[in-house]
């Protein structure tokens, strides 16, 4: 049994990785605001919640988010449908998470990736002061406060060259100041058993000597076709405008049809005809009257047929989630959530490398 914690928890990629690896775990805390914003200032919230218990403060902030953002936390809804967190330990806002109260919990692994934001001011020396006011600062602050044995930080590859490399220099200085042994890996999901061209950086910090190497890559033996559902509801098929857009070579940088390896899945996957799509030759057994009433029958590469979006389940599969993982939010949100997740297969490879080197004991 290992103790884990997550920040910017999303839909629970590290939890899914541990499930797939048959590793028992307990979630100490999780935090995600569900891409909502507050109008109230931090100072006002701190003043209003002074003297409250942990549970009372969390409930107050949750009610404030619903009142000011006008919608529920769909990320929390999705996460809690699949994973268990003790009441009061799922945080709506990482800024109000006091990591010091978890210092004695012996957290084995803390995982998260803050949204990639531009830094307004980057000092010469680096350190926490230079990132104050950004969500990366909150990640670093909580690592410093709760002192996990290992942390994994994930973000986009572009962070390394943002602002001519100065952003990464500052972030790296912050990591070094936390007194962890740091390793940086640039990993692509397609090298870890899943047909998905998704490059990300992973920073692994350990309290013990970090002897990790790049996780062993595996030969890709599947294509997108292996992850498709057999029965597709009519609502996922495209009308004439959508069909003509995704099959137009001029828009190939935005939409790809019948690819073997998925383009990097994004938050707006399948929205506004963006991402991977499937063309299906016309088949009156498969394409029911309901489908044909909705779908436009057009020509693509010399064949007549219909085009469709990938379903949310297919998108989650292509992020490494199994079919046992429950999807409980509406389609647009599910597409967005899967596009914002970490590829589970890559986390599995990192976990296995840590276990092989004796860094993670479970």
- Give the pLDDT band of residue 125 (cuts 50, 70, 90): very low
Domains of the chain by start residue, with CATH: 2-36+71-216+342-356 (3.40.50.150), 230-310 (no CATH)
- Lowest mean pLDDT of 60-69, 122-131, 177-186, 211-220, name the range: 122-131
- Give the pLDDT band of residue 167 (cuts 50, 70, 90): confident
Helix axes 166-177, 135-146, angle to 10 degrees: 10
**Does 303 have pLDDT greater than 80?**
yes
**Does 348 have pLDDT greater than 90?**
yes
**Does 120 have pLDDT greater than 50?**
no
Rounded to the nearest angstrom, the gap between the alpha carbon of residue 336 and the centroid of all alpha carbons in its chain is 10
Q: Report pLDDT for 185.
A: 98
Q: Report pLDDT for 122.
A: 39
- Lowest mean pLDDT of 30-44, 172-186, 263-277, name the range: 263-277
**Does 117 have pLDDT greater than 90?**
no
**Does 105 have pLDDT greater than 70?**
yes
- The answer to whether 308 touches 258, Cβ cutoff 8 Å, is no
Give me the chain's average pLDDT, please. 92
Phi and psi, residue 183, nearest 5°? -130, 135
Quick check: is 116 catalytic? yes
Q: Which two tokens stand for residue 177?
A: 């100041």
Q: Report pLDDT for 129.
A: 53
**Which residue among 116, 264, 315, 362 is the active-site one?**
116
Q: Report pLDDT for 243.
A: 97
Q: What percent of the chain has pLDDT over 90?
A: 77
Q: Which two tokens stand for residue 332?
A: 């647009």
Q: For residue 70, what are the CA distances in angstroms to 39, 61, 66, 67, 170?
A: 11, 13, 5, 5, 36
- Give the pLDDT band of residue 145 (cuts 50, 70, 90): very high
Please give the Cα distance from 344 to 16 (Å, whole number): 7
Q: Report pLDDT for 131.
A: 53
Burial (CB < 10 A; 0-12, 13-18, 19+), residue 39, is: exposed
Tens-place pLDDT, residues 307-319: 999 999 999 999 9
**Does 128 have pLDDT greater than 90?**
no
């Amino acid at each position: 049994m290992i103790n884990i914690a997550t920040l910017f928890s999303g839909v629970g990629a590290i939890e899914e990785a541990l499930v797939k690896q048959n590793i028992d775990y307990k979630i100490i805390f999780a935090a995600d605001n569900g891409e909502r914003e507050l109008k109230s200032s931090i100072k006002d919230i701190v003043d209003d919640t002074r003297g409250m218990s942990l549970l009372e403060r969390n409930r107050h902030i949750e009610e404030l988010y619903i009142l000011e953002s006008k919608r529920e936390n769909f990320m929390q809804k999705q996460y809690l449908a699949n994973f268990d967190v003790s009441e009061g330990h799922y945080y709506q806002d990482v800024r109000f998470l006091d990591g010091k109260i978890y210092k004695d919990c012996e957290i084995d692994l803390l995982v998260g990736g803050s949204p990639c934001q531009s830094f307004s001011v980057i000092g010469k020396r680096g350190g926490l002061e230079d990132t104050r006011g950004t969500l990366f600062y909150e990640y670093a602050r909580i690592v410093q406060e709760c002192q996990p044995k290992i942390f994994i930080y994930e973000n986009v590859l572009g962070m390394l060259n943002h602002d001519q490399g100065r952003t990464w220099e500052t972030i790296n200085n912050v990591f070094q100041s936390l007194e962890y042994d740091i390793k940086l890996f640039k990993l692509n999901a397609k090298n870890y058993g899943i047909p998905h061209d998704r490059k990300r950086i992973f920073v692994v910090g350990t309290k013990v000597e970090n002897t990790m190497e790049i996780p062993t890559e595996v030969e890709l033996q599947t294509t997108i076709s292996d992850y498709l559902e057999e029965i597709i509801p009519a609502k996922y098929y495209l009308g004439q405008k959508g069909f003509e857009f995704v099959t137009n070579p001029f828009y190939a940088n935005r939409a790809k049809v019948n690819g073997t390896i998925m383009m990097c899945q994004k938050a707006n996957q399948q929205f506004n005809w963006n991402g991977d799509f499937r063309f299906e030759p016309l088949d009156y057994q498969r394409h029911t009257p309901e489908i044909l009433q909705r779908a436009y029958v057009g020509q693509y590469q010399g064949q007549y047929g219909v085009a469709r979006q990938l379903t949310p389940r297919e998108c989650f599969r292509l992020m490494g989630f199994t079919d046992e993982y429950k999807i409980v939010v509406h389609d647009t949100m599910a597409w967005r959530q899967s596009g914002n997740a970490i590829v589970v297969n890559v986390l599995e490879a990192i976990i296995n490398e840590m276990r092989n080197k004796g860094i993670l004991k479970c």
